[in-house]
Amino acid sequence: MRKPLLATLTAAAALAGTTGTAAAAPDRASGATPTAATAAVHPDSTPASVTAASFAGTVALSNCSGSLVRMPNSQATDPGLVMTNGHCLETGFPSAGQVITNQSSTRSFTLLNASAGTAGTLKANKVVYATMTDTDVTLYQLTKTYAQIQQSTGIAPLTLSATHPVQGHAIDVVSGYWKRVYSCSVDGFAYRLKEGQWTWKDAVRYTPECQVIGGTSGSPAIDTTTGQVTAINNTTNESGESCTLDNPCEVNEQGAVTIRKGIGYAQETYGIPACFTTGNKLNLSATGCTLPKPTAVSAR
């Protein structure tokens, strides 16, 4: 759940001769664990047997990754949505139990094209939904519709799958921040995933090939069979600690704890579409919507 460190970004910028990650070339991660600096400056070579995934529709935030997304029933005239993690919210990590809805925002996102070049800039006018309870997600509403975005940038949104992720399916975790693709498979599911004060339900566990790093938070995990977003990347156990910040632990139905050092996780997104109705409007009371709801104290 770690975000990039300022010192790391400064070093990467100096070595690349630019600011941030503007010079970072698109890259597909190998099995080796890169550092944040080397991820931008010394990308791993692409295995010849692997077909590069498209970055089209992914976005780079100031400190995280994300994607331009649509619900299965979204229309071209609906306002666009950007999805990233709850812990990537510009106002800070939501507390356990906190749900934020319809909060004003002026955040900007760099929209990428297929080859990880800049396609344009997207702007939000509000945080539609954000939480780190049960899941780890923020959804921003944009100032433009999907049709307007596609007309000006040529980029169409990614579609959120409305079905549960499938164990064994190949996935690409596409980071707009680092302009890297991490390819692996869905290894299985954690009944509960605990990290610090937060608990997430039915989390996706990656096979070891997806060695995600700080800055990949919020990246869409795309099922390569369907081409749809099946989860949102959010954390990895960095040092083998148990249930601490940056060291999530798995807890099964009986309460037994399992620690998997070096393994990454994502939060399922199939439940999100049921909470959005006509016009991409959030309705937490809609039939089938199971996203946590705000209380009078937590909503703001």
**Mean pLDDT per 10-residue run, the chain (300 residues)?**
47 32 42 28 28 85 96 98 98 97 98 98 98 98 98 98 98 98 98 98 98 97 97 98 97 98 98 98 97 70
The amino acid at 23: A
Is residue 32 exposed (0-12), middle (13-18) or buried (19+ Cβ within 10 Å)?
exposed
DSSP for residue 278: T
Q: What is the reported pLDDT for 74?
A: 98
Q: What is the reported pLDDT for 90?
A: 96
Q: Which residues of 186-225 are buried (b: 16+ CB within 10 A; e: fewer)?
A: bbebbebbbbeebbbbbbbbbbebbbbbbbbbbbbbbbee
**What is the spatial distance between Cα 280 and Cα 126, in angstroms, rounded to a whole number?**
13
Q: What is the reported pLDDT for 134?
A: 98
Q: What is the reported pLDDT for 52?
A: 53
Q: What is the reported pLDDT for 65?
A: 98
Looking at the chain, the number of H-run helices and the number of E-run strands are 3, 19
- Among residues 232, 279, 219, which one has the least CA distance to residue 80? 279
**What is the spatial distance between Cα 125 and Cα 106, in angstroms, rounded to a whole number?**
5
**What is the spatial distance between Cα 181 and Cα 9, in angstroms, rounded to a whole number?**
19
- Among residues 62, 64, 267, 76, which one has the least CA distance to residue 157? 76
- Is residue 30 helix, strand or coil? coil
Do residues 173 and 181 lie in contact, with contact meaning Cβ atoms separated by under 8 Å?
Answer: yes
DSSP for residue 122: E
pTM given for the model: 0.86
Q: What is the reported pLDDT for 4?
A: 54
**What is the spatial distance between Cα 64 and Cα 80, in angstroms, rounded to a whole number?**
19
Do residues 180 and 216 lie in contact, with contact meaning Cβ atoms separated by under 8 Å?
Answer: yes
Q: What is the reported pLDDT for 295?
A: 82
Do residues 190 and 201 lie in contact, with contact meaning Cβ atoms separated by under 8 Å?
Answer: no
**What is the spatial distance between Cα 288 and Cα 210, in angstroms, rounded to a whole number?**
31
- Counting every residue written for the chain, the total comes to 300
> Strand pairing of 137-145 and 118-131?
antiparallel
**What is the spatial distance between Cα 28 and Cα 229, in angstroms, rounded to a whole number?**
18
**What is the spatial distance between Cα 51 and Cα 227, in angstroms, rounded to a whole number?**
14
DSSP for residue 273: G
Q: H or E element: which one contains 205?
A: strand 198-206
Tell me the CB-side half-sphere exposure of residue 120, using CA atoms within 13 A.
15
Is residue 251 exposed (0-12), middle (13-18) or buried (19+ Cβ within 10 Å)?
middle
